[in-house]
Copies of this chain bind each other. A is one copy, B any other.
């Protein structure tokens, strides 16, 4: 397990549902926010350096375990780290917590595809940034 990057997220009213808690799909969005921050702090600007050279890292698999609920106004922390970086795929893991209590854990797996949708090898410089 490499470097862990933490992102703070303030829960939005729009993210709640009528059950009074954060709607389940929003955790995938939080994962993405944390992933973007992870990339950024590793020196990788996803928009410019991945999509900008005609590559995309679509999510090909995701898993989530919801342990406890988040609520409007709370500040949650999302930790993200690289779980696995193969030649053509990368798996990121996440943990959402509030004041040290785990709310949700999960992962997303990404394939490296080009504009035509073909799965290709992740450029070495991007792999280095991921694992750095």
Residues of A within 8 A of B (CB): 10, 12-14, 16-21, 23-26, 28-29, 32-33, 36, 45-47, 51, 56, 58-66, 69, 71-73, 108
Contact B13–A18 (Cβ < 8 Å): yes
Contact A12–B28 (Cβ < 8 Å): no
Contact A32–B61 (Cβ < 8 Å): no
Report Cα–Cα, A21/B117, bound state, in Å. Answer: 12
Report Cα–Cα, A70/B45, bound state, in Å. Answer: 17
Instruction: Report B-chain residues with C-beta under 8 Å of the C-beta of A71.
Output: 18, 47
Contact B65–A64 (Cβ < 8 Å): no
Majority SS at the chain A contact face: mixed
Report Cα–Cα, A39/B45, bound state, in Å. Answer: 34
Closest 7 CB pairs of A and B: A25-B28, A16-B18, A24-B59, A25-B25, A14-B29, A62-B64, A63-B63
Interchain nearest-CB distance for A80 vs B (Å): 14
Q: Told that A13-B32, A14-B32, A25-B32 touch, could you supply 15 new A-B pairs with CB distance under 8 A? A: A12-B29, A13-B18, A13-B36, A14-B23, A18-B18, A18-B19, A18-B21, A18-B51, A24-B108, A25-B28, A47-B71, A58-B69, A59-B66, A61-B63, A63-B64
